[in-house]
Chain A
Amino acid sequence: MDCLKLPDFIGCTLHISHGDGRMLTGTLVALDCQLNLLLDHVQEHRGQDQGERSLGLVSVPRNTITSVKISRTKLDRLCHMKQEILRHII
């Protein structure tokens, strides 16, 4: 996992939690130096009873984020691929 850098996460589906019990899932399309994220195809989850809805393109300021998660398979695949590339370069 150490080999990964930020650009590797562009195009990945991220699961972002906010303090208010909301979770946004979306594809990371951009981020800036402050780690404000721009996610596309965003789905908003607000607990069991309130269901899920889509919001499209959403800017997620750094200070609203409590956690960032990614699926295990996706992460493994990213790491694997990255190692392959690094090996080729060396």
Chain B
Amino acid sequence: MPLEDQLEKLDISDTSYGSMTAEIETLRDEDGEPMEELVDITQMFFDLGRDLSPHTIIKDPGFNLFEGTHSLEVNNEKLDSSLISLTDEERQFDCNLAYGDDELLRLKHVTAIVDLLTRFLVSWLNEYQTLPTTVLSCRYVEHLLIESSKAGRLTYLHSGDPLYDQVLCDAIYGICYFAKFVQKLLKAGVIFEEEDLNFNGMGLDFLSYFEEQQVIVDRLHRSIEFVESSQGDKGTFLSRLLRIIICLVKMEDHLELYSADVTRLDELIEESRYLDEHDVSQEYTPPPGCFSMSIQKRLSNRFPPKHLVVPNWNYKGFSTMAQDLKIVLKVNDAATMLEAAQLAQYFNKLTQRHVIARALFPLYFIRDDQTILGKYSTLDCIHMHLREFSAMSTTISKQSPQELEPILQEAMNVLFEWYQNTAQNTSRYRQGYNRQLLLWDALHAQMETTEFELAQRGIADQTMGQQGRIPFMPYSSWAFSMKVTAMLDYVTKGFDLDVYKPFESFSMFWYAYYLSYNLEACLENVQQFIDSKINSIHGLAKKIKKVKTIEKKNELKAQHRHLMDTEMEQLRTNKRYLSYLFMNTAIIKSLSLAQVFQFSILRYLGIIDTNSPAKSKFTSDRLLHDLRFKPFSSIGVPDVLTYETLQSTLREFSIEGTMSSVKLENARQCMDKELQSASNAIETIKKCISAGDNNGLIVTGTRLVKEEALDYYNHLQVSVEAIIANSTTISSHLKSLKSAEWKHRHEVRLNVPKGGSPFFPLLELIEKVDRKK
């Protein structure tokens, strides 16, 4: 019997009434009548509860006690917002008083309020704080939102001072309008509440009734003019703040109008730089009681009390936000799907981008009207992806048979998920790939089946090679390469997130090697196919010379010209893109293999093994292996890495026995070789990224994310050098096999060197830290 049922039984057995509960349910629906006479049942209630057995939980059968774990609690300091204590100033704060005895003090107060609110925005969005402890802790914000919501229009303060009644109100409405845009991004479901962003609006309506952005902007301009004319230099800081707020109000244009205009973002960067350099936090203070935890105590609130944030001088945060948005908006300029995909691939890979930029990316790319970037249909998009990889001028793509349609639709769905996932926070990013493995695998299987069936009907593609005609499946090849790439991303991201312990690094690096080996084989097939396509067009030119009749010659010439005009360029691009993919895969392959060798050398030293160092009677090394490889356990191709395979691989790499010194030297040489070839490939790719795709050698498609892509490869290059240096350090210990005591004092850790790639941490030999200390 499920535990849940047992529990219900238990509850009722104390005081059982059979069908009572159902009757009470219907009664409860009638509840909520106007309040009337109350009967005190305290005594009876407590008497009834006197002899309850300790196991008793009396509850509604429909109520899951698990929900109870999220409850607040009366008189519990951590869980009762009513216990928040307030100062007299906080209690007596009046929003319709112009605080400050003279005009200068009033200016200082208003400047301080707007300054703090603006920096709170950075605390909220860049530093993951929540609204009630930042922006909503301001009494004016709360007051204006409540009053405006009641009136259904923007209402203003009546203190008699235009600095409060106009300027402060305009600033606050600007900030709230921006918050409304953030709320909309969050509701679009790309980023996660309470993880990427907290939007606890305390039940307040963030201007849902007010759509006129222009009015807010105009009023802010009016306030800037007022401050500048009435306050002169003393008002500079305030007017600069108002300018920042205008930029924030305009930010919604990137979503509402899909604007790629970055003028306002540049302005935001400029203004935030100015403010960052002019720390005036000592100069201005808000009126006492203006910022308070009291909103948590006064309004409806399902959250535990939380102290107010004390923000740093953090104006740089706006610059980060704007810079990251600018990168995302570049996708508007994607000339090919390759460029769009490479932007997605690199923009959020090494540095987690600002939450606004990450939330906007998928919404900007895949629009409300179901188009991609407002230009392409979803079907166009998937065709372009395929064409730019393997499906250029194939028999299948030319005939585009109907049975392909639903599969392409499915492919598009998975691809959307891929695009969306690239914008996730660093942890979700890996989890997304975990899910995608299954999707790509299913798609791969589907495509293979369909292409096989099509081939039987004569719709088939072949590679013409020296060995004759070899069947080629352009669609499945694409799905396979996407799948294996996703698997690789999942595996290597685990290192970045510190998910693997050193003892697991052998199997993970070996698996990465194995996957890149499989990917290489797939790329090779595609390249041969593209080559044979190019050769056949060239072959046509030769044919023309051999043909005797003018008529036939002309016919072939026309055909040749047509192919040169329509297909040749794309085929060449594909070939060069494949060259890039080859190099990129080779880098991963070589680095992974070098790490496998490094592990074997450390294992020879006797300070690490692939077995868990845990002395556990609860589990086994096989179970741990199987659990670690669980995400891949259902993947058909490439084969799962079983525990047995791994063990035999380990034996192959093992340095032991009579030949150990030869084997050791061998391992070191192999390592050097792999690292050298990785280094060469990295240099080539870096040069080609810098030179742009017209370099005649490889096409990287990184025009829009040049810096980010270069950064990625620079980090890899640093890692290569660090692995070489680290290997030398380790080698110095190999001269004589160390004592048992030495081994006991040393261990291996995974460490990312400064500027190195987080996906390939070093296997460093370190002295153990005494944990007791």
Q: From residue A37, how far is it (CB to closest CB) to chain B in Å? A: 9
The A-contacting residues of B in range 55-75, CB under 8 angstroms, are: 55-60, 63, 65, 67-68, 70-75
Q: Is the CB of B17 within 8 A of A58?
A: no
In this complex, the member of B60, B71, B301 whose beta carbon has the largest number of chain A beta carbons within 10 angstroms is B71
Q: Is the CB of A64 within 8 A of B58?
A: no
Measured in the bound complex, the distance between the Cα atoms of B75 and A22 in whole Å is 11
Q: Is the CB of B75 within 8 A of A6?
A: no
Q: From residue B42, how far is it (CB to closest CB) to chain A in Å? A: 5
Q: Is the CB of B73 within 8 A of A13?
A: no
Task: For B73, give its contact among A35, A44, A59, A85 (CB under 8 Å).
Answer: A59
Measured in the bound complex, the distance between the Cα atoms of B510 and A4 in whole Å is 69
Q: From residue B317, how far is it (CB to closest CB) to chain A in Å? A: 32
Whether A57 contacts B31 in the complex (CB less than 8 A), given A6-B48, A72-B37, comes out as no
Measured in the bound complex, the distance between the Cα atoms of B298 and A7 in whole Å is 33
Q: Is B21 an interface residue (CB 8 A)?
A: yes
Please, what's the 1-or-0 string for B29-44, where 1 marks a CB less than 8 Å from any CB in chain A?
Answer: 0011101111111101
Task: For A72, give its contact among B27, B38, B75 (CB under 8 Å).
Answer: B38
Task: For A53, give its contact among B38, B65, B73, B299 (CB under 8 Å).
Answer: B299
| Chain A, interface residues (CB within 8 Å), range | 35 or more
Q: Is A33 an interface residue (CB 8 A)?
A: yes
Q: From residue A50, how far is it (CB to closest CB) to chain B in Å? A: 8
Q: Is the CB of A33 within 8 A of B52?
A: yes
Whether A58 contacts B42 in the complex (CB less than 8 A), given A6-B48, A32-B57, A81-B23, comes out as no
Q: Is A87 an interface residue (CB 8 A)?
A: no
Q: Is B735 an interface residue (CB 8 A)?
A: no
Whether A59 contacts B71 in the complex (CB less than 8 A), given A7-B17, A35-B45, A71-B38, comes out as yes
Q: Is the CB of A71 within 8 A of B75?
A: no
Q: Is the CB of B24 within 8 A of A30?
A: no
With both beta carbons as reference points, the residue of chain A lying nearest to B70 in the complex is identified as A57
Measured in the bound complex, the distance between the Cα atoms of B41 and A35 in whole Å is 14
Q: Is the CB of A27 within 8 A of B48?
A: no
The B-contacting residues of A in range 7-39, CB under 8 angstroms, are: 7-13, 15, 18, 20, 22, 24, 27, 29-35, 38
- Cβ contacts under 8 Å, B36 to chain A: 71-73
Q: Is B260 an interface residue (CB 8 A)?
A: no
- Cβ contacts under 8 Å, A67 to chain B: 40, 42
Q: From residue B732, how far is it (CB to closest CB) to chain A in Å? A: 62
Q: Is the CB of B74 within 8 A of A85?
A: no
With both beta carbons as reference points, the residue of chain A lying nearest to B73 in the complex is identified as A59
- Cβ contacts under 8 Å, B48 to chain A: 4-6
- Cβ contacts under 8 Å, B20 to chain A: 7-8, 82, 85
Q: Is the CB of A33 within 8 A of B21?
A: no
Q: From residue A16, how far is it (CB to closest CB) to chain B in Å? A: 8
Q: Is the CB of B25 within 8 A of A69?
A: no
- 5 new A-B contacts, CB < 8 A, other than A46-B82, A85-B23, are A7-B21, A10-B21, A12-B24, A55-B72, A58-B71
Chain B positions within 8 Å of A, measured between CB atoms, are 11-12, 14-15, 17-21, 23-25, 27-28, 31-33, 35-42, 44-46, 48-49, 52-60, 63, 65, 67-68, 70-76, 79, 81-82, 298-302
**Nearest 8 Cβ contacts at the A-B interface:** A30-B59, A56-B302, A69-B38, A33-B52, A35-B49, A72-B37, A59-B73, A57-B71
A-B contact pairs, 27 of them (CB 8 A): A6-B15, A7-B15, A8-B17, A10-B24, A11-B25, A12-B31, A22-B74, A24-B74, A27-B31, A29-B59, A29-B60, A30-B58, A30-B68, A33-B54, A40-B63, A54-B300, A57-B67, A57-B302, A58-B74, A59-B71, A59-B79, A64-B75, A67-B42, A69-B41, A72-B39, A74-B27, A85-B17
